[in-house]
Amino acid sequence: MNATTLAALAQTLADRGLLVTAHLLGQEDAPITSVASDSRFARPDSLFICKGVAFKHAYLQSAIDKGAIGYLCDENRAAELAAFAPDCPSIVTTDEGFRGAMGLVSPEAWGHPDLDVPILGITGTKGKSTCAYMLRAIVDAAYGDGRCGVMGSIDMYDGIENTESVNTTPEAPDLWRHVANARDSHLNAIAMEVSSQGLKYNRVDGLHLTAGAFLNLGRDHISAIEHPDFEDYFASKLRIFEHTNVGIVNLETDRAPEVLASAQRCERVVRFAASGRHTPVGDADIWATNIVPEVGYVHFVAHTPTWEGLVTLSMPGLFNVDNALAAIALCAELGIGEDAVREGLAHVRVPGRMELIPTFDPRVIGLVDYAHNKLSYQRFFSSVAEEFPGKAIIAVFGAPGCKAYERRTELPQEAAKWSDVLIYTEEDPAYDPVEEICEQMAAATPEGARYEVICDREEAIARSVELAFEFEQGAVVCLLAKGDETRQHRGSKFVPVESDPVLFERYVEQHKDRA
């Protein structure tokens, strides 16, 4: 790894028109080997990035105490920090260019570790996490347990750190730390979810992907703080092809011709389709036939340029064949073949994704999934109806606060098409009152659909269990959006809570005791 310097980083920003001023105080040639925006990760020879509305001067002081050489900040914060730490070198960017500056200095400081570890990128409205865990299972089957890093919406594993995620795609300083950790741990690959916001807001600037997959497209993340409209969302997702020489495209995604056109900037494009080789937009290079679901599994025959054979997915959900084909295509870029693919997919488990929870009564089952937008609801509920015919469907879900406002209308309308009972409850309300979110969802519920509003999520799950055992034909209790998460985003805090599976099992056990 070649170290950069304070002067070199300042020049990089100047070349892009982002530099306001640099006060390097004789430290122009000081080597910089890392960056951090969280003082817990500051270290000797690091550049500390002062960011965020919750930033405190104490964070900068902590970073300095740990050996940070200097700091980066925007012009709005420059005067106060210069007064607080006058003897610390500083690099100041324009306010509007601050995010871009983070994306530029981070890979330089860490020595471009993406060139030393393969990164398999995945974008799409749904399925990113599932595909990432499929990749992890396949890579681990090929090279040994723990050999594949994961960077996504469920957790982060980089060979050194193993934590629950905050952002699907981390901010640039954290992202590059994870990639550097994976390099230093000699991991064989990283499975990375690449979000629309990560692409739009400079988090992945400079990142080279070994291959990048576009799974699907639906309407999501439209708000004042995310994407102003659907076209901005779509355009952001297409930027994944700027980061790779190998584009992998689902021929059955909405607006496939436009996705394929964007992918042509890559040196090579690999196409896949779950419905067979021939599609209206062209022939697939990788495809599936003979898809057969059973409780807890999906079987299909995979066809690839180098092999074909029966594959068993150790999870339900017909739509997961799409994700499996994407994983097969991505792993092929690492030279991983049939044996590891079949082994990995036969044993893959995605925490909180199509996670079946049996009960003492075979008529009643729990199903935990992170489904949280219209496209994922369409695929989730249609699959549940096909794989659990005759059973009542009880759906427990909410909508997030302060973003993706369309979900408060779309989710009740979509879930009502399939469900016998809807229960609206808490789902990361942030600064919005849970009661207000649930009222909006209730107002959007189609006339005649049965629903209840229970703002406390634990009480909502308890009620869903009670209702499930009242249906003579049995029921599938669908616990949606939170998966295995153990935190609720309330206000500015992430409050510890018990996960949906834990709560479901508890109330099933209590019902058994009363039965």
pLDDT tens-digit readout, 202-239: 899 999 999 999 999 988 777 777 888 999 999 999 99
Residues 321, 198, single domain; the answer is yes
CATH number at residue 10: 3.40.1390.10
Provide the CATH number for the domain around residue 359: 3.90.190.20
Residues 288 and 319 in one domain: yes
267 plus 410 within the same structural domain: no
Listed ranges 116-120, 165-169, 489-493; the one with the highest mean pLDDT: 116-120
Closest CA to 131 of 377, 322, 273, 347: 322
Which of residues 110, 132, 161 is at a domain's end?
110
Same domain assignment for residues 376 and 471: yes
What's the CA dihedral at 217, 222, 228, 232 to 10 degrees? -10
Residue 250 or 513, more confident? 250
Q: Are 176 and 205 in contact (CB under 8 A)?
A: no
CB 175 within 8 A of CB 146: no
Judge if 227 and 94 occupy the same domain: no
Strand ranges for 53-136 from DSSP E: 70-74, 90-93, 119-123
Cβ count within 10 A of residue 208: 16
Strand, coil or helix: 154: coil
Share of the chain above pLDDT 90, in %: 87
* 18 and 123 belong to one structural domain: no
CATH of the domain at 206: 3.40.1190.10
Residues 470 and 475: their CA atoms lie apart, in Å, by 9
Same domain? For 153 and 241 the reply is yes
Cα distances from 404 to residues 23, 51, 399, 415, in angstroms, run 41, 24, 8, 17
pTM metric for this prediction: 0.84
Domain limits at 40? 4-110
What's the rounded mean pLDDT across residues 185-200? 96
Residues 327 and 401 placed together within one structural domain of the fold: no
The tally of domains found in the chain comes to 3
pLDDT of residue 34: 96
**Of 66, 91, 110, the domain-final residue:** 110
DSSP reduced 3-state for 219: coil
Q: Among residues 347, 371, 387, which one ends one of the domains?
A: 347
> Is 80 exceeded by the pLDDT of residue 17?
yes
Q: Are residue 343 and residue 371 in the same domain, yes or no?
A: no
The answer on pLDDT for 1 being more than 60 is no
* 270 & 362 share domain: no
Any idea what the Cα angle at residue 345 is, between residues 341 and 346, rounded to 5°?
A: 115
Average pLDDT of every residue of the chain? 95
Closest CA to 329 of 269, 267, 252: 269
Decide if pLDDT at 2 tops 70: no
Task: For residue 205, give both structure tokens.
Answer: 């600037």
Question: Which residues, in sequence order, are CB contacts of 261 under 8 Å at separation 6+?
Answer: none
On whether both 325 and 360 belong to a single domain, the answer is: no
pLDDT, tens digit, 9 for 90 and up, residues 240-258? 999 999 999 999 999 999 9
- Closest by CA to 414, choosing from 454, 455, 385, 453, is 385
- Residue 3 has a pLDDT of 77
Which residues share a beta bridge with 283? 278
